[in-house]
Amino acid sequence: MLGAQSLTRQTTSDSIIIDESFYGKLVEFDKHIKYQSERRRVVADSLAKANATLRIACVGDMMLGMNYPVPMLAANDGRNLFDDVREYLVGADLTLGNIEGVLLDKGGVPRYGPDSKGAFMFRMPERYAERFVEAGFDFLSMANNHTLDFGVEAIGSTMRTLKKAGIAYAGVQDMCDYAIVERDGVRYGLCAFAPNLLMCDMRHLELGEQRVTQLREEHKCDIVIVSVHAGAEGNGATHVTRRDEIFTVFNRGNVHAFAHRCIDAGADLVYGHGPHVVRGMELYKGRLIAYSLGNFCTPYGMNLNGRCGYSPVLVVDLSRDGAFRGGEIISATQRRGSGPRVDSTGIVISELQNLSRMDFPESKLVISDDGMLLIEE
């Protein structure tokens, strides 16, 4: 009730007389309501930001075509290689992969002669950096066994070309140890490792720990992601052995120990590649480890038979503090001369389900039949 002194009606006319003090109170009340409404909006926006999900897309090895010793390039100069999976790559907040080879138009010092039997050397045209841009890639790991295929000159060319294209990169010791990418107010720290000459060597477990700590504490990164190219290769190398893996007499590292060491140090996500086949996934301390995502876009120069042709897109949802919230596996496969194609049968999902159950029975990660990544209740 407003009170008798606040509102009176004259008996001689139909006009209403409003007390000035009451009018002032109405104005103040209106201001209070607007303030409270704005305050609630600010609080709601702050909570929404704190609870926002970050979507990360990860893929495995990419070598889009070769210009040495003879050109082997996809149709339309590779412009359509990613068409079937592009929506999953560009739709993420951050998209990551491994560049398996170098970007160099000509020159360099080939590791092997052009007629060397069984020798693989991967040199892509420099213009193919645009293919990565068109597909939505924000970061490419250079830590792998083909970065040195054409010598240090080719490493420099790759770094310059990616930088010009606006793509971050890391993985070569003392040349590009890590990268920092900022997107929508989130500061991502990215690092890459491989058990190869001149690369940030994952066989030194303490190096991964030091790099993660550096990104987290010195560079104040909100999210730290580790890429690792390691393990034995081929259709028979689908399992995580939890020990050093020897391939063609070379020690290709203990991927399990390295990944756990990185998570222990504060990494939020570890994704792997290198075996050319997919491997299982696990949740460790609330963080996802994907041990190998296989070959993703390798139309020439690599074996794509059987499991080597599995080419998934891994989409991971993280909270702003890096905790795993869920995700999805996009089942895709590839054939010679073409890029990854979405596979309606879900064959890659089934493979990852089986490998994850066998290799990590203690993990709380659940992979549904339609590829959704869930946490076991």
**What pLDDT sits at residue 113?**
79
Name the band, by pLDDT with cuts 50, 70 and 90, for residue 377: confident
d(CA 183, CA 172): 24
Span 298-320, mean pLDDT? Answer: 97
The pairing of beta strand 295-297 with beta strand 54-62: parallel
- Predicted pLDDT of residue 9: 39
State residue 46's pLDDT score. 47
- In this predicted structure, the answer to whether residue 26 has a pLDDT above a threshold of 80 is no
With 60 as the cut, is the pLDDT of residue 10 above it? no
- What pLDDT shows up at residue 304? 97
pTM, full prediction: 0.87
Would you place residue 8 in the very low, low, confident or very high pLDDT band (cuts 50, 70, 90)? very low
**What domains can you pick out in the chain, each with its CATH number?**
7-46 (no CATH), 54-375 (3.60.21.10)
Percent above pLDDT 90 for the chain: 84
Q: For the chain, what is the largest distance between any 2 Cα atoms, rounded to a whole number of angstroms?
A: 113
Average pLDDT, the chain: 91
CA 368 to chain centre: 21
Kindly report, residue by residue over 100-141, the tens digit of the pLDDT.
999 999 999 999 877 766 678 999 999 999 999 999 999 999
Question: In whole angstroms, what is the distance from residue 209 CA to residue 193 CA?
Answer: 12
pLDDT in tens, 326-341: 999 999 999 999 999 9
Residue ranges of alpha helices (H) inside the chain are 20-50, 86-90, 129-135, 151-165, 205-213, 255-265, 347-359
Q: Choose among 371, 372, 353: nearest CA to 363.
A: 353
Q: Rounded mean pLDDT of 56-75?
A: 97
Q: What is the DSSP string of 280-304?
A: -EEEETTEEEE--B-EEE--SSS--
Rounded percentage of the chain residues whose pLDDT exceeds 70: 86
> Is the pLDDT confidence value at 43 over 80?
no
Q: Are strands 295-297 and 287-290 parallel, antiparallel or unpaired?
A: unpaired
- pLDDT value of position 34: 61
> According to the model, what pLDDT value does residue 52 have?
79
In the predicted structure, residue 7 carries a pLDDT above the cut 60: no
Tens of pLDDT, residues 167-215: 999 999 999 999 999 999 999 999 999 999 999 999 999 999 999 999 9
Residue among 145, 227, 219, 213 at smallest CA distance from 188 = 219
Residue 166: pLDDT band (50, 70, 90) is very high
Note the pLDDT of residue 17.
Answer: 52
Confidence at residue 267, expressed as pLDDT on a 0 to 100 scale = 98
* Res 237 pLDDT > 50: yes
CB neighbour class for 272 (10 Å; exposed up to 12, middle 13-18, buried from 19): buried
pLDDT at residue 225, rounded to an integer: 99
